Amino acid sequence: MDSIAIRSGNTLNGSIPISGAKNSALKLMAASILTDQPLRLTNMPRLADTRFLGQLLRQLGVEVTETGDADAQQTLFHAPEITSTFAPYDLVRQMRASFNVLGPLLARTGEARVSLPGGCTIGARPVDLHLMALKALGAEIELEEGYVEARAPGGLKGAEITFPFVSVGATEHALLAAVLAEGTTVLNNAAREPEIGDLARCLMAMGAKVEGIDTHTLTITGVASLGGAEWPVIADRIEMGTYAVAAAMTGGDVTLTGSRPELITALTAKMRACGVDVTETDDGVRVQRDPAVRLRAVDVTTEVYPGFATDLQAQFMALMTTAEGESRIHENIFENRFMHAPELMRLGAEIAVHGGEAVVTGVERLRGAPVMATDLRASVSLVIAGLVAEDETTIGRVYHLDRGFERLEEKLGRCGADIRRIKDEGHEH
């Protein structure tokens, strides 16, 4: 497996272009199943996860055509006919978001056989709310040998659905299914992450009728069919926040271009509180910090949007490892999401984990060491720490990084980071 080696000593200076959001692109890709007309997605990230889903869509009958250069990537999806309604385990297990083809397949064809997603290292993340929503829309669902067998012979019907707690995945899945359901569907206690708004607006561009976007109540009036559209994938707020933290970690002056600063206000408020200068620009956000002045420790609690994102918790913990004082980080979204803490401690960080809370006592400096990536966000926290850890840090199992960060070494390297990928030619991921 590939690894990444980083030598510290350089501040980051320059600009980093922000890619389209992985978490939006995956659901927009699933939306291509809903229409026999072409759906063109611009600002399209090229990631392991989008590649996996592209493979699955091709198997279902969707034509997937990638075009454009690194600065203007787009993908055309066209499913004139769904040739298979079967999503096998070997494809779905590689990425949970593949499960979201279930609703669109049901809505368009009236049937689907989709593997349950595999286990996840950051908690149970069951799909029971997804299935609850589809059953409410009239789907007949049976679980058989690890597969969801779903049928809606008379088509899906509108319904009022109240989620017992806010779930991004279940909200998106219900939305994808309801746009072709007969009648009106109301989703109460819906998640309102920006990626859901992006999906809803794209569906509207395809002809769907959705009201209440960016609120906790979505009202969907079903239509008989959807058409094609061209849609730009929203900027990736997690990539934006990650590079903002990296710039703050090393000190320096980095502008994140093509970004949407209003999507990470919870993070930037905390960064300002610990001594980082964050300003909006015409095309994004600028992050500056004097490396001679030590950061101040700040407490953080993860919450659903617009609160502090759980997907930025690991990165912020890395930032706090060298801050002056003690910071407390409360994780409220996923259990088992402090697996990066022991790896950061291998670099010299002082972290004590008690259940859903981590106490970080800032140290003067970190030391380079070999560390191991455990999941996507944890792996990039090790990159951030490695940017300031003395000597060299090597991060193993970086295929986790490739799932969510596009051209990471190139983007950091252009701003002065001493970072390189070490290829392991002998192993598959």
Q: Does 96 show up as a binding residue in the annotation?
A: yes
Provide CB contacts within 8 A for 242, sequence distance 6+: 312, 315, 380, 384, 405
Is residue 194 reached through a cis peptide bond, with omega within 30 degrees of 0 on the bond before it?
Answer: no
Active site residue 274: no
Q: Does 277 show up as a binding residue in the annotation?
A: no
Which residue is catalytic, options 120, 202, 274, 415? Answer: 120
The residues pairing with 422 across neighbouring beta strands, listed in sequence order, are 3
> Could you tell me if 71 and 17 are in contact, meaning their C-beta atoms sit under 8 angstroms apart?
yes
Q: Which two tokens stand for residue 114?
A: 């989709």
Residue-wise over 324-339: b if at least 16 C-beta within 10 A, else e? Answer: eeebebebebbeebbb
Query: CB 354: neighbour CB atoms within 10 A?
Result: 9
Least Cα distance to 373 among 340, 336, 345 occurs for: 340
> If you search the block for the tokens 């272009």, which residue do you land on?
17
Q: Does 127 show up as a binding residue in the annotation?
A: yes
Residue 193 sits at the vertex; the CA angle it makes with 187 and 194, to the nearest 5 degrees, is 115
Q: Does 137 show up as a binding residue in the annotation?
A: no
> Could you tell me if 277 and 287 are in contact, meaning their C-beta atoms sit under 8 angstroms apart?
yes
Cα distance between residue 376 and residue 121, in whole Å: 10
| Full 3-state SS string of 201-265 | HHHHHCCCEEECCCCCEEEEECCCCCCCEEEECCECHHHHHHHHHHHHHHCEEEEEECCCHHHHH
> If you search the block for the tokens 């990425």, which residue do you land on?
95
> If you search the block for the tokens 């001594």, which residue do you land on?
275
* Strands (DSSP E) found in 20-67: 39-42, 63-67
Q: Does 129 show up as a binding residue in the annotation?
A: yes
74-78 and 39-42 beta bridge pairing: antiparallel
Q: Which two tokens stand for residue 182?
A: 């007969």
Q: Which two tokens stand for residue 411?
A: 């983007």
Q: Does 125 show up as a binding residue in the annotation?
A: yes
> If you search the block for the tokens 């960016």, which residue do you land on?
214
Q: For residue 122, give the 3-state DSSP assignment.
A: coil
Q: Which secondary-structure segment (H or E) carries 357?
A: strand 357-361
Cβ-defined contacts of 338-341 (< 8 Å, 24+)? 339/121, 339/122, 339/374, 339/375, 339/378, 340/314, 340/374, 340/377, 340/378, 340/379, 340/381, 340/382, 341/317
Q: Does 365 show up as a binding residue in the annotation?
A: no
Q: Does 209 show up as a binding residue in the annotation?
A: no
- Which residues carry a binding-site annotation? 22-23, 96, 125-129, 311, 333
Binding site for UDP-N-acetyl-alpha-D-glucosamine, by residue number, is 96, 125-129, 311, 333
Active-site amino acid positions: 120
Binding residues for phosphoenolpyruvate: 22-23
